[in-house]
A and B are shown apart, each in its own frame.
Chain A
């Protein structure tokens, strides 16, 4: 039986996954935790937003959106 990971530890993995590949065990326990914890799902989405802010500086203002980073 896998011990349920705590939110604080889950956020560590949510962050690390943006910088390095997670191990299999880490991936599984993170996925399990996210499946059961709504605040952590929100946190995960917020980390993704932060991970994409850089693209919104140097994207072309009238780009053809081919770089997946459309600007307002």
Chain B
């Protein structure tokens, strides 16, 4: 192995160590079992090291590693499902968290009216936003959070989510609508208030 290659490999190992906290918080949000999330990240890191030659200096190393993690997460999710760990989604009409945001007439409740979060880039750059986001994701019921994160974190289409979960596409849209409304209300309470969130995951990197 040429000296230069060894050096590149070494540099990538350092990048792996640096990206690890982000991999863990991503996996936790998706799998909602901290120990399983750790194991899944370990597997992804092992695969990334093993397949280091495959990467061969293309750009986007972190994105490549996240791609590996996403495959591992999907495997772990399928195992969770097989083991019967998923509560089936029952549309029991329990929309309370959403009903609270609207008047009977269909207009926003005055207290729940969405306000301006400001420049999205500034929002994403704000550590407090991410702490609130983590806390609000944890507060979501598992089966709603799972569909939301499959869509918005894993980037699956709703058609693929149907395959993974056995849901009908229409149900997916209903769930995503609820998830977004609940998250926006939760984030707005936590993010715009002076209050720090009750707990944030400290795992997330910078």
Contact = CB atoms under 8 A, between A and B. Distances in A.
A32 interface: no
A19 B158 contact: yes
Contacts of A26: none
Contact of B124 (A6, A43, A71): A71
A45 interface: yes
B152 interface: yes
Interface residues of B, number: 47
Nearest to A47: B180
Contacts of A51: 152
Contact of B106 (A8, A52, A56): A8
Contacts of B123: 49
Q: DSSP class of B's interface residues: helix, strand, loop or mixed?
A: helix
Nearest to A10: B106
Given A9-B106, A11-B177, A19 B172 contact: yes
Interface in B91-117: 102, 105-108, 113-117
B115 A72 contact: no
Contact of B63 (A12, A15, A60): A60
Given A46-B117, A53-B133, A60 B60 contact: yes
Interface of B: 18-19, 22, 25-26, 59-63, 66-67, 102, 105-108, 113-117, 120-121, 123-126, 133, 151-155, 157-158, 172-173, 176-177, 180-181, 183-184, 187-188, 206
Interface of A: 6-9, 11-12, 15-16, 18-20, 39-40, 42-43, 45-54, 56-61, 63, 70-72
8 contacts: A39-B114, A40-B108, A45-B120, A53-B153, A54-B154, A57-B66, A71-B124, A72-B124
